[in-house]
Amino acid sequence: MANYFSIFLVVISAVTGLVWLGYALFFAPKKHASGADAADNVSKSITVTAEEARLQMPAAVDFCKQMFPIFFGVMVFRSFIYEPFQIPSGSMFPTLLVGDFLLVEKFSYSIKDPVARKEIFKTGDIERGDVVVFKYPFDTNVDYIKRVVGLPGDTITYRNKTIYIKPACSQSDECPEAFIAIQEFVGRSDAEIHGDAVNMYTEQLGDVEHKILRNPNRGSTSGQFVVPQGEYFVMGDNRDNSQDGRAWGYVPEENMVGKAVFIWMSFKFERKEEDFLPTFIPTGVRFDRIGGIE
């Protein structure tokens, strides 16, 4: 759906811009020229008011002139700078909550054209620990948000709810040492906020420290994942309640939309189906959530 909206913005910007430009270059000059000839022939037969009305821009063209800067500005901002994103599920608890509205930085890794989403030029590297929005590999019309755990060439082992990372190494380089994403227990999560009271830990993922949730009542899934070149391995912070790379594999670099960097608004949605108002109407605002993302 997000990609369809990007295409809509490009199309509507092009249409309004071309209508306005076409009128300014071709029709307006002819109007003024014919008006000048008529004034020379019958200088006093046309009043100033009538002449102004005759030369007035058509309503449709005037609409395009007024709306083009708005459509074009939104298109540029959303396609190349920041795109809004809403958290739809709890897979990133406790870092992100349902009802968080994010800004995704589109230029963090590359600049892409907004229609075909082909890279125009690269602007940065995807780093371990980044929270990223990406197109789901099996349905690119769906956006997912997860945390980057494995970089191209890494070997990721998930065992006993712990991440073991063997970084990529070429034969010509000195290989970095394998390491564990160290976890420290910090208490229980809030059942009202996170849906259940489970164990909360801090996790050191490279240079990034963040919080994760682990459910002691759920068994541990194990697996080893060798990340292909040009792809990334991602996981949710809600480790026992996230459909991520452990289930469906890797994210190609071309599927990356951008880096989630800021929570600009956070709503509570606590209505029940039997309430008078619809469940999509917020019940409150979490102002303390507004700010940067770890």
Q: Tens digit of pLDDT for each residue in 124-171?
A: 999 999 999 999 999 998 999 999 999 999 999 999 999 999 999 877
Positions marked active-site: 91, 146
Whether residue 100 sits in one domain with residue 219:
yes
Domain boundary pick from 79, 100, 116? 79
Whether residue 14 sits in one domain with residue 45:
yes
CATH of the domain at 187: 2.10.109.10
Cβ contacts of 248 within 8 Å, gap of 6 or more: 137, 138
Whether residue 152 sits in one domain with residue 34:
no
Total-model pTM: 0.86
- HSE of 294 in the Cβ direction (CA atoms, 13 Å)? 17
Whether residue 223 sits in one domain with residue 147:
yes
Place of tokens 């620990």: 129
Whether residue 189 sits in one domain with residue 155:
yes
Whether residue 71 sits in one domain with residue 6:
yes
Whether residue 94 sits in one domain with residue 73:
no
- 243-250: list long-range contacts, CB under 8 Å, 24+ apart: 243/91, 244/91, 244/146, 245/146, 245/149, 245/150, 246/158, 246/221, 248/137, 248/138, 249/137, 250/137, 250/150, 250/225
Cα–Cα distance measured from residue 182 to residue 205, given in angstroms and rounded to the nearest whole number: 7
| Grouped pLDDT means (10 residues each) for the chain, 294 residues | 77 93 82 52 49 69 92 92 92 96 96 88 96 96 96 96 92 82 96 91 95 92 94 97 96 96 94 84 93 91
Say what the alpha-carbon torsion angle 217, 223, 224, 230 is, to the nearest 10 degrees: -80
Whether residue 117 sits in one domain with residue 235:
yes
pLDDT at 31: 62
Whether residue 44 sits in one domain with residue 151:
no
Q: Is the bond preceding 58 in cis, omega lying within 30 degrees of 0? A: no
Whether residue 91 sits in one domain with residue 75:
no
Cβ atoms of 199 and 185 closer than 8 Å: yes
Coil vs helix vs strand at 32: helix
Whether residue 151 sits in one domain with residue 37:
no
Whether residue 95 sits in one domain with residue 56:
no
pLDDT at 34: 57
Q: How many domains does the chain have?
A: 2
Place of tokens 């307006």: 28
Q: How many residues does the chain have?
A: 294
Domain boundary pick from 79, 106, 140? 79
Cα–Cα distance measured from residue 151 to residue 166, given in angstroms and rounded to the nearest whole number: 10
Q: Where are the alpha helices (DSSP H) in the chain?
A: 2-22, 28-41, 48-55, 59-76, 191-194, 245-248
Q: Structure tokens of 213?
A: 């949730």
**Region at 107 (left for phi over 0; alpha for psi -120 to 50; beta for the rest):** alpha
Domain boundary pick from 79, 106, 126? 79
Q: Which domain holds residue 103?
A: 87-292
Cβ-based neighbour number of residue 44 at 10 Å:
6
